[in-house]
Each structure stands twice: as structure tokens, then as C-alpha cells.
Amino acid sequence: MHALWSSASYDAHLLSLPFAFAPAAMAVVIAYGVAMRGEPVLRAWMLLHFASLMPYSICMAMSPSVTSPAAAEHLFRIAAAFIPMAAASGAGFQLRLLGNRHWFVWVGVAISVVWVILSASSDVVVSGVHRLGFGLWYADAGHYAWLVLLSIVVISAPSFLMLTLAAYRAPPSHERRQLRAVWLANMITYSGLTDVGLAFHLGMFPLGWLLSGLGSVLVVRALIVEDLLRVRAVDDTMPRVLLHLAVATLLGWVALSLLGTTLVWWGGGLVMLCVFAGARVSISVFSLVSRGGRMTDSTLDRLLTQLVTRARTLRDERAIAQLAIDVIELAMGVRVEVLIAAETDYSWTTAGQRLDDAAAPDPLLGAWLAEHPGAVFEQAAGVPEDLRVLLGAVLAGTKARTAVPVISRDELLGLITVPAAARRLRRRHLAFVERAADRLAEGLIHARMARRAAERATIAREVELAATVQAQLLPGRGPHVHGDVTVVGSWQPATRCAGDFWGFFPLGPERLLLAIGDVTGHGVASATVTAAAAAAADVAVRRHGNALDLVTFVAAMDAAVSRVGGGQLAMTMFAAIFDATTRTISYVSCGHTSPYVCHAGDKDVELHALVARGNPLGSPSHTVPKVHQRPLRAGDLLVWYTDGVIEAQDPNGEPFGDRRLQRLLRRLDRNALAPPSVHDLVHASVAAHRAGHPRNDDETLVVAQWLPTAAASITPASTTQSLP
């Protein structure tokens, strides 16, 4: 037996070089599977599959260099012995990739073990060898070679058929791309079974080695591009061990060569021990120095610093989550999603909206994640079996591959999910996401603490009931349509309760009363006066109906403000009545800012101010204001506002101002004067001017337009003042 494996049985031949392609490609796949930390069962089946194919590939690579028929026969016996095992492990890999578990896979493994023993120790599968063209050895089929081939087909066919159906019937997804990549690689590899004909003296040249090598290359591509093993990170333990061994062996050989052959055996062992220790220390020191140099001021670290710095200025959890998403995308080029856990219940929200309860993480899963920091995925080692389904449901619901918990003191604050369609994360990128999760947890805790403090301060100053009552008394944005008049309005409080008031009240089919007011200051006290004014307006309209005039209305409003304000709070107000019968607008001003009338002229927008004089309501010096009247032209658009609009300040303290509002209205499109668009334009311009600066006062904006279906041309004299 020893003679069969002696060096006399081999003579290196150049023809072995091309055949070495297959074992080299398989070695790359095996090295990747050993070095990467992926789904454990899937990785085990893959490693067993390629380890079982390796003997045949090595046998074909050595075939041109073998000179002894006996040595060639033993090589082919060993190679043929592991082919059924390659088929069984390949079936196991395919079924695991599909998420299925079938008993016949283990039956196939058991049958393969039997064939390994029989084929390696007898001639039932390989009975001898013969020469092919080009000086190649190839096996002669034994009496039961056909039974081995039948076993391979029976073991492989079911899983291959299921893989084919799944790969071409599944909806477009990242998983389907994985299945198609595996199907193509297996199709090419299994095509190598055509070499069986050579064992029966059918054919001239083996191609199985080439096909299996090409299949291995496709598997390498699927591993890297499609993340076939669902890799979590690189496990650098094995590469480091191999590097230590390679460096130590080289240095040891050099040291022993320099010391000569007179060195005693124990001295040689001591030299090798010192060399191994020196190599390990040198590589470890180099790694520490290199790691320290990379981590002191890297781009990823600077991004984390930016995340922390900017998160401290934010108070909204969704804004902080959005900031984390943007920073991670900038660092890795992958758009992740952040799920935020609610404080009071088990609901979850994303950075944009509430997450459906069916897709939200289960409380049991949340409790486990809170105790296990670090990235997880469905098939990760360490995830309890009863929680894998829950974790898989969360990943499927968010279309994610990996989830990184956001934890603070065993409390799960959120989850960072990496989309399944994204490219595989490298180790340093995954570590960056985990560190970003820690920083995000700090930001969320800071925001929650700030929000709680703000809520306590707000409760101490204001009553929540006042805001609720006020919201019910004021109309919504609209548009509200009454006859030929369309009204759109909004109010934005500076605090929970606003001191602004506006409302519209139909006075029969042809008349409409519209009022806007601003109470001194803002907050609960101002909101109380506002509620009283809204109630007084409603009572006056109900009592007088279509007969209500502006003098009566102002008197009722003044009485209500005086009673509730007690002389300490006053309210400015502008009230107007649209009359479709006379095609006029009557109006009074009680110390309020003058609204504007916009009319589409021949070339541009004509702008006028409804100027009137009067004292605020509730003040000791209040007198009955003078009623003014102005004719209406078809399409006239009126803009009311409170002083909070023109006094809105940018971060530098500069107010929006009357002039800026006038210029904005003059630049309106004369062909597209409509209350909703004009309202939104003014509102957006004020918000842009503030640039995130908080409101100093309540902002109320009302836009109304009179547009009769059959307008007549009316141009009597006006009592308004035209703006220069």
C-alpha cells in the first residue's frame, strides 16, 4: 500500500494545471464559508457539499500526473465514494435555502455514508482504470456503479425540482435572485455527471471538472453579491490563524536553515516555539496599531459624532430617527429604517408614520432583544426557536434582512432594520450600525426626558381643556363655501392654547359674516377670552339671524370680552359681511390689522387695503366703530391675518413684515387667484421665513373670495385706501 502512494507513482505533468481550476474554485468557496459568520445550518450544508466534491476535483487534477494504475484506481475509488454525499448535502442546502425540512434528506445522507464505505474499500463502484486520450486516467465502472448513479438521481431530483419551481414562480424579490443563482450553479455542477459515460467507455474527454469549477465560481458570486449565506459579519479567527501559521512556518524554515542540521531535536522544537510566539506577537501588535490608526479620526467616527451633536438639538423622536437614517445612509449607501417603540404601550412607529400592529415586534421578542445587543437575523445562532418565527415576521413585514436593537439599560427603544434588497454589509459597516444604535438610544432618551419636562411645564401653565374647547369652537381649514363666497382659514397657536379667533357665520342664503380677532398675549388666559368671543358670536347670530348688522355684532362681542377679560385683556377684531344681493362688503375694525383685497387686473394683481379705525374690544375706551362699505368685483380675494403673521421672526430676529406680505400678494398669478392656493402660499412663505424658529405669537390666516356664477360689472366709488 505504501508503494502505491510513493513518489514513484507520480510525475508532475503540465496538463494537471488546467484541471486544478476546479479544486481551486472549490477551495475559495470553502474558505469563504469557514471565514464568514452566516446562517449556521445553511453554511454547514454548503461546506459539506463542496468538501464532498473536492476529492473528485483533486483526483482529476492529479490524473495526468499519476503514473501507476494502482494509485489511479485508489484515487478514483475515493473520489467516487463521496459523489453521493455531495448530492445529499446539495439537496440539504437547497431545501434549507427554501426553508423546508424533509426527512428524505437524512435518508440520502445515510445512503451516502454506506456508499462511502463500500466504494472506498471495494471495487463495487470502481473496478479499475483505463487510459483516455491526452494521457488521462479514468475509472472503469464497477458492477454497482449504475446503482450509485440511480441513488444520486433519487436523492437530488426532489429538492432540485422544488428549487426550480420556487426560482421561477416566486414573485420578484431578493430571495428569488438568490434561488435563481443557486439553481444556475447547481445546474452547471450537476451537468458534470455526464462524465459517468466515460466509466462505461462512452466519450473521449472529461468535462465534469470544468463544469464543477464553473459552478463553484457562480456560487462564489452568489455568496458575495446575493449574500447567499445571509452573512452577518466576517469571522476573522480562521484567517488570522492561517496567517500566523504561514508566517511562523516561513520564519521557522529560515531560522532552521540558518542554524544548520546539527541542532538537536529539542533545540529545533524550541526554535519553532519561539518563532511561533514571535510571529503571533508581531501580528497582534501590527493589528492593534493599524486598528488604532483607523479608529482615531475615521470618517465613520466623525459621522457618529455628527449624529450625537445634532441629536442633542432635537426634541422629536421621529426627527432623531430620521437623522440616524440619513447618517447611516451617508456612511454606507444603504437606506435603513428605524422603528420606534412607544413609551406607554406596545405600539411602534417608523420615522414617518405609525406601524401596523400586525407588523410590530411582539412584546416577547422585544424583551429578548432588550437583553441581547448586537445585530440579529432570522436564522442567527442564539435566537430561541420560539422567537425565530416572531423575528422572521418582523423582518418580513419590514422587508429587512438584519435588525439591530436600540437599547438603553435593558429597555428596547427601537430597531434599526437593514433592507433585504441592500448589498451585504461589511464587518466595519455592521459595527458602525451597532454603534449608531447606541448613539440613537442616547438621543431618544434625551428627547423623551426633554419632552417630559416640557409637558410638566405646559401642564403647570395651561389647562388642556381650554385647548380642546377652543379647537371645537373654531372652524377647520376648509374650503368652506356659502353661496358665491369661498373661505379658507387656519390658526397656528404659539402654545397649546391660542389667543386668536376667527369664524364665519351664514346670515341667510345671500349674506355671510366673517370675523377675525386677536386677544392680548397667548396661552390659557387668552384662550379663555377667545372661547367667550366665539360663543358670543354664535349667540348673536342665532338671536338676530339675517337681521344681524355689524354694530349689533360688535356690541355683543365687546360685552363678552369685557366680562371675561375683566379689563385686563382686550381683543382686536375685524368683522365683515358679504352681501350677494348688493354685491358689497361691509366691514368694521376694532384696532385690528387691515386686510387686503386682491383683484386680477388687466396686467397684474391690484392690491387694496380695507382701512378702518376703532378701539380694541374690552378696553375702557372702546367706542362704536364706524361701518365701511366696499363694492365687490367678480373674483375679488380678501386676505385677513393677525399680527402673529407679519411679526413672525427668522432666527436672526427679523420680522416677516407688511411689505414682504404686500410684495407676495402682488406677485400672485392673476389667472389663478383661489383661496386654497393663496392661503398655502402665504402660510408656506411665513414658515420659510421663520426657518424653524418657534412662533412668538399665534398665527391666524383667512382667505375669502367672492366669485358669482354670473358676475356683473360694478365699479362705484370705494371707501378703501389703495396701496401705492
Q: Domain spans of the chain?
A: 7-231, 239-295, 299-461, 466-716
Identify the CA nearest to 365 among candidates 386, 350, 381, 349.
386
The rounded distance, in Å, linking the Cα atoms of 126 and 58 is 17
Cβ neighbours, 10 Å, residue 352: 11
Each residue's pLDDT tens digit, 216-261: 777 777 776 666 665 544 445 555 665 666 677 777 777 776 776 5
Residue 716 pLDDT level (bands cut at 50, 70, 90): very low
pLDDT of amino acid 689: 92
pLDDT of amino acid 36: 67
Cβ neighbours, 10 Å, residue 277: 11
7-231 CATH: 1.20.1070
Q: Is the pLDDT of residue 107 over 80?
A: yes
Residue 662 pLDDT level (bands cut at 50, 70, 90): very high
Rg, C-alpha atoms of the chain: 41
Higher pLDDT, 573 or 36: 573
C-alpha separations of 212 from 87, 153, 192, 218, 275 in Å: 13, 17, 6, 10, 40
Q: Is the pLDDT of residue 8 over 70?
A: no
466-716 CATH: 3.60.40.10
Ranges of beta strands (E only) in 64-109 are: none
Does 299-461 carry CATH code 3.30.450.40? yes
Identify the CA nearest to 225 among candidates 184, 190, 193.
184
C-alpha separations of 708 from 390, 513, 636 in Å: 61, 17, 10
User: Running DSSP on this structure, what letter comes out for residue 580?
Assistant: T
Residue 696 pLDDT level (bands cut at 50, 70, 90): confident
Helix (H/G/I), strand (E/B), else coil: 383: coil
Alpha helices in 520-671 (DSSP H): 524-544, 550-565, 643-646, 658-666
Q: Is the pLDDT of residue 516 over 90?
A: yes
Q: Is the pLDDT of residue 450 over 50?
A: yes
Ranges of beta strands (E only) in 207-292 are: 233-234
Helix (H/G/I), strand (E/B), else coil: 588: strand
Identify the CA nearest to 117 among candidates 76, 82, 66, 159.
82
Question: Which cell is 515 given?
Answer: 370675523
pTM greater than 0.75: no
Each residue's pLDDT tens digit, 165-189: 888 887 776 677 778 888 888 888 8
